[in-house]
Each structure stands twice: as C-alpha cells, then as structure tokens.
Structure 1
C-alpha cells in the first residue's frame, strides 16, 4: 500500500535537509522514507517553494485555473451545440 504524506510533513522533511544540513539519506532513514521520495520533495521545493506541495486531491492555483477554463470551454461548446439544434428546428418551422 502506498503511503501518503501531508504538506506539513513534506515541508518538515525538506526543512531538515535544507536548514539543519542533514543528508537526504539520513533524514529519509529517520522518517522511514525512500531516499528518492525525499530527494524529489527537495527538488520540488527548490523549484516551487511551498506551492509545490498542495496536498492530496488539491491542485496548484495555475492547474486549478486551467481546469476551470477547460470546464467553461466544454460548457460553452455544449451551449453552442444546443443553440445550433434550436436554430435548425426554428428554420424548419419557418418554411
């Protein structure tokens, strides 16, 4: 079974590496983590700071905005399709 970790846990683990000066292998052993997992967290933190750890089921703000835009596009496309069908129906009734 895959373990999941909250944002605070990840930030604390990264802090132990970056601020306390401990090696990734040492912190990973202390926290019962795979070294690669902790290394990935440190890399992600270096790129995005805390914004890189959004928590389970959450999206980064820019990803959330993209998702909302995609939903809006789908909604508008559906509305257009409905309007086109309605126009076709009304055009038949005009003849």
Structure 2
C-alpha cells in the first residue's frame, strides 16, 4: 500500500511563498520554520512561478480524460457493455493474428 500524502491548504502554501519572496528566506529555512520538507517548498515555489496563485490549489483528485478519476456512478447499459466487449474482442483477435504471424516468420 502506498504512502498517504498530507494535504496543505492554500493559505499555508501562500505563507511559505510569502516567506520566500517577502522575507527572502531560502527553501531550507522555510522548510524548517514550517516543519515541512524542502522538496515540498521548492515544488510550491515552482508552481507559483509558473501558474501564480492557482498553482497552489490542490490538483489531486481532479483528473480528467478517458478512464481517469472516479469510476462511473451509473453502471453501463447492456448495449454499452456489448459494444465495449465486441471492440475488446476484435482488438484481441488482431493481436493474436499478429503474434501468430511473427512466430511463423521466425520459423525457418
């Protein structure tokens, strides 16, 4: 099982950024002052440089795209299941045919 990462709120991250820019503290000093890892402070500073205040917002759990994020709440309908399985079956048949072809080419 993986490690559970601690989540920090935006105000806490902003406090670290202010120490870096306004107080001129280094990431090592900020890490010791706030009791967090140096790499975390460096990551926050880089995100802030690239994206501004939005770079400090939590991004975990907001994945988008195909097959990312939380699973669907509603199960697939029967026709959607059949279509998905037919496409998977066709793909596997093509893969099997390619493997057979490669094996036949290797034989003398």
Category of TM-score, reference length = shorter chain: 0.5 to 0.7
Deviation at 1:58, TM superposition (A): 7.0
Deviation at 1:2, TM superposition (A): 2.8
Q: State the partner residue of 1:90.
A: none
Q: State the partner residue of 2:40.
A: 37
Q: CA RMSD in A?
A: 3.2
Gaps of 5+ in 2: 66-75, 81-108
Deviation at 1:57, TM superposition (A): 5.8
Question: Comparing both chains, which one has the higher relative contact order based on Cα–Cα distances under 8 Å and sequence gaps of 6 or more?
Answer: 1
Q: TM-score, normalised by structure 1?
A: 0.57
Larger helix proportion of the pair: 1
Q: TM-score, normalised by structure 2?
A: 0.50
Deviation at 1:15, TM superposition (A): 1.2
Map 1:40-79 → 2, pairs under 5 A: 40-55=43-58, 59=62
CA contact (8 A) 1:6 1:56 kept: no
Confirm whether residue 2 of structure 1 aligns to residue 14 of structure 2.
no
Question: What CA distance in whole angstroms lies between the structure 1 residues aligned with 2:43 and 2:14?
Answer: 12
List 4+ stretches of structure 1 deviating above 6 A: none
Gaps of 5+ in 1: 68-77, 83-95
